[in-house]
Amino acid sequence: SSLGNIFPPIDHLHAAQPVATPPGSFPKIGVEEWLMFMDEVGIDCAALFPTGGLSYGYIVNRDWAIAVCRAYNDWLYDTYVKSSPRFVGLALIPMQEPMEAARELRRAVEELGMAGAMLPTRGLPNHLGAKEYWPVYEEADRLGCCLAAHGGSHSGMGFDHLNVYAPVHAMGHPVGLMAAFAGVVFNGVLDRYPNARWGFLEGGVAWFMLCMERFDRSYETHIDLDPRGELLQLRDGERVSDYILRHIHDGRLFVGCEGTEPLISEALRLTGGKCFVFSSDFPHEVNAEICKHELSEIFENAKITGEERTGVLSENARALYGRPVAAGLAAN
C-alpha cells in the first residue's frame, strides 16, 4: 500500500492546485530508478528523506506515531538501505512521545545502520529546542548521530490563503527552518549535546544568512530571564553569529543548498565552507537535467574555491551523516 496513506496530509496547499512541474518530476520510483538517477547525475551516495512522511509531526495519536515511525524505518531499511550501501537512511522517530523517540533513534542507528533521524519543522506541539525533546537529543549525543530538520508542511505559517503556490513553496521551507534553528540555538541545545550533528535542510542559504544578521542585535536588545541557565550561553565578547560559526567549525551544524543560490559564495566565505551540503531534492519537483544543471552551477561558479566545492559536494555530507556515507562511498 502507499506510504502516503499512513501519514496525515502534508497540508491543504499541496492539494487541488493547478500547478505544472517540469517534465519527469515527481516520478514513481523504486531502488532501480534511484540508482539510475544517481548514475546519470553523478551522485555516489544519497541520504534518503520521506515524502508523505514529511507530515508525521501532525500525527496526534501517540501510539500511531510510534507504530508508523517504526514501520517506515523497517520499510526504508528493507527496501533501500539493505539493497545498496549507496543509500543512507534517515529514520522517522515519534517526537510526540520523546522517550519512545529516543528508543527508536537508538534502534535505527544501532540495528538498522541509519545515519540518524529526520525531525519535522512543522506539526509538533512545540519547537525543536523545547525541553521536552531533550531526551531525544541526549540519545543522539550518546550515539554521535545526525538530526536533520526538514520542512514540507506549509500550513499555519501565514500562507494559508495565498492563491499562488510558488511563493508558498519558496517561503515555507526557509520559514520553518528558521523557527527550528532559532529554537535549537537559543535554548542551548548545541552546547548541551555536543556530539549530535544538526542539519537544517531544503531551504537554501538566504534564511541562514538572515538568522546570522538578525539574531545578533535582537539578542543584545532583548534579554530573556534565565535564572536556571538553560538558555543560550555566549562566551565573553561572543555574538550569536560567532556562536553559530563556532559550532559550524566544530562540525555540529550543517545547512542544505541546491547550488544555484545567488548568495552561496558569500555564505561559503562567511562559514569557511564547512557547513553547506548539496541536496538534489529528487524525486520531487526536479529531474536529472535540473540536478545536473545545479551541479554545473557549483562547478562553474568562479567565486567558489576548489576546497569549498569539495565540501559542498562531498566532505560536508560525509561529516553530517557519518559512517553510513563513508561506507557507501567506499562500496562505490
Tens-digit pLDDT profile for the chain (332 aa)?
444 489 998 888 888 778 888 777 778 899 999 999 999 999 999 999 999 899 999 999 999 999 999 999 999 999 999 999 999 999 999 999 999 999 999 999 999 999 999 999 999 999 999 999 999 999 999 999 999 999 888 889 899 999 999 999 899 999 999 999 999 999 999 999 999 999 999 999 999 999 999 999 999 999 999 999 999 999 999 999 999 999 999 999 999 999 899 999 999 999 999 999 999 988 888 888 999 999 999 999 999 999 999 999 999 999 999 977 766 666 65
CA distance 205 to 251: 18
Cα separation, 201 vs 325, whole angstroms: 17
What one-character DSSP code corresponds to residue 163?
S
Distance CA 274, CA 277 (A): 9
DSSP annotation of 5 = G
pLDDT score for 331: 62
Q: What residue ranges in the chain does DSSP mark as E strands? A: 46-48, 87-92, 116-120, 146-150, 197-201, 253-257, 276-278
pLDDT of residue 2: 47
pLDDT of residue 1: 41
- Are residues 264 and 206 in contact, defined by beta-carbon separation less than 8 angstroms? no
- pTM more than 0.85: yes
The dihedral region occupied by 151, where left means phi > 0, alpha psi between -120 and 50, and beta the remainder, is beta
Cα–Cα dist 172/176, whole Å: 6
The predicted structure's pLDDT at residue 327: 67
Q: Would you tell me which CATH number, out of the four given (1.25.40.10, 3.40.50.300, 3.40.640.10, 3.20.20.140), belongs to the domain 3-223+233-313?
A: 3.20.20.140
> Rounded distance, CA 158 to CA 178, Å?
15
In a 3-state reduction of DSSP, which class is residue 161? coil
- Cα–Cα distance list, 138 to 106, 151, 187, 194 (Å): 11, 23, 14, 10
